[in-house]
Amino acid sequence: MSRHPRDFFKPLAVGAPAPLREIPVPPSRMIHFFDPSNEKMRAKLPDIAAKADIVLGNLEDAVPIDRKESGRAGLVEVGKTLDLGGTPLWTRINALDSPWVLDDLTTLVTEIGDKLDVIMVPKVEGPEDIHYVDRLVAQLEARAGISRPILLHAILETAGGVARVEEIASASPRMQGISLGPADLAASRRMKTTRVGGGHPGYVSISDPTDAEDLEVGRVRSQQDPWHYTIGRMVDACVGAGILPFYGPFGDIKDTVACEAQFRAAFILGCVGTWSLHPVQIGIAKKVFSPDPDEVAFAKKIIEAIPDGKGVHMIDGKMQDDASWKQAKVLVELAEQLAEDDEELKAAYGF
């Protein structure tokens, strides 16, 4: 936080809306990416929005240079003409050092700022990047007469950004969350992988040999998660700042099994959701980021057995106390929230 604490929640431009004190937490299991320069994808968006928790018009990487302007115009058209049935609309703007970002922000905030919930900012290196966007968005909100502040979401995809993730998370009251960007981050760190998320057969731990003479015998190799450290650090930074952590892209669209495993590792470590790059990943994210019904049933049992959440108890042979009661609350409260608008989940959780 670079401003005095007393000024942290003051609007950064005369006429801009007051920053929110609490970050809203609607169901956020997947941020579904679409290419707004692709007319076919735009046409499918109402159907996609009915399945996804959040839809995001991507203007940055993956959109070719000659379609940057039509992508921006396509997103304006989406905001002005499509009924997304209440599903939040986000965008990912071009990088702050690119020739497109100023027009991205100016056009989007002034044309469809009242429809945009969150602006995702790529390649954030430090709090100064958030401060720049924060002030500019405030000026544009004031110009457009927007009454609800647009929130910001940073992608953690440079080594420098990871080193300053706590400062990024608390750079502005507009900060809504952070996503892991494993592709750019791998390149920035000079990690030796061409994969977009997921494990790597070279990143393993190995058991001891069973034969002292022959080092090849009986050794079990087990792939490790190269994103474990960064996800853990990102989750801590986000929770400390009262904002939401997300896993990012999983590029092997055909390998739905590995995608599910990567999403689940992120869910268990504390992420609230992930990106989906292809319609097939929406269902995977929904399954993974909705808590498992058996685990919710056990969590409910803990809460029912320990109404005041105090003391030590044995439930099904497992020790429960004040801390495990809080763990149970995390799962049950998330399940209750997700079940509110989903009859299938409501039945699965027995609410």
Contact letters for Mg ion, residues 156-175 (x by CB under 5 A): -x------------------
Q: With beta carbons less than 8 A apart as the criterion, state whether 54 and 87 touch.
A: yes
Among 57, 74, 177, 181, binds Mg ion (CB under 5 A): 181
Q: Which does 33 bind (CB under 5 to 8 A by kind): Mg ion, ligand 1VU, none?
A: ligand 1VU
Considering only residues 66 through 105, tell me which ones interact with ligand 1VU, judged by CB under 6 A: none
The phi, psi pair for 132, rounded to 5°, reads: -60, -50
Q: Which does 41 bind (CB under 5 to 8 A by kind): ligand 1VU, Mg ion, none?
A: ligand 1VU
Cα 284–Cα 287–Cα 291 angle in degrees, nearest 5: 145
Among 11, 17, 46, 251, binds ligand 1VU (CB under 6 A): 251
Which of the stretches 184-192, 204-212, 261-269, 314-322 binds Mg ion when contact is defined by CB under 5 A? Answer: 184-192
Report the relative pairing of strands 175-180 and 244-246 from DSSP bridges. parallel
Q: Which does 58 bind (CB under 5 to 8 A by kind): ligand 1VU, Mg ion, none?
A: ligand 1VU
Among 3, 46, 61, 128, binds ligand 1VU (CB under 6 A): 61
b/e map 311-325, b = 16+ CB within 10 Å: eeeeeeeeebeeebb
Considering only residues 160 through 219, tell me which ones interact with ligand 1VU, judged by CB under 6 A: 183, 196
Cβ of residue 59: shortest distance to ligand 1VU, in angstroms? 10
Among 186, 277, 339, 345, binds ligand 1VU (CB under 6 A): 277
Cβ of residue 31: shortest distance to Mg ion, in angstroms? 14
Compare residues 21 and 40 and give the one whose CB is closer to ligand 1VU. 40
Is 62 a binding residue for ligand 1VU by CB under 6 A? The answer is yes
**CA-based R_g, the chain, Å:** 22
Give the dihedral sign, CA 182/184/187/189.
Answer: negative
Among 28, 58, 230, 290, binds ligand 1VU (CB under 6 A): 58
Among 4, 6, 21, 40, binds ligand 1VU (CB under 6 A): 40
Is 129 a binding residue for Mg ion by CB under 5 A? The answer is no
Minimal CA–CA distance to 55: which of 74, 36, 80, 39?
A: 36
Report the relative pairing of strands 204-206 and 175-180 from DSSP bridges. unpaired
Which of the stretches 35-43, 92-100, 153-161, 252-260 binds Mg ion when contact is defined by CB under 5 A? Answer: 153-161
| Neighbouring C-beta atoms of residue 64, cutoff 10 Å | 10
Give the span between the Cα atoms of 176 and 228, in whole angstroms.
Answer: 22
Q: With beta carbons less than 8 A apart as the criterion, state whether 264 and 243 touch.
A: no
Residue nearest to ligand 1VU (CB): 62
Q: Which does 144 bind (CB under 5 to 8 A by kind): ligand 1VU, Mg ion, none?
A: none
Considering only residues 6 through 35, tell me which ones interact with ligand 1VU, judged by CB under 6 A: 33-35
Cβ of residue 169: shortest distance to ligand 1VU, in angstroms? 21
Is 279 a binding residue for ligand 1VU by CB under 6 A? The answer is yes
Compare residues 28 and 276 and give the one whose CB is closer to ligand 1VU. 276
Is 249 a binding residue for ligand 1VU by CB under 6 A? The answer is yes
Cβ of residue 337: shortest distance to ligand 1VU, in angstroms? 25
Q: With beta carbons less than 8 A apart as the criterion, state whether 234 and 156 touch.
A: yes
Residues that bind ligand 1VU (CB under 6 A): 33-35, 40-41, 44, 48, 58, 61-62, 183, 196, 249, 251, 253, 277-279
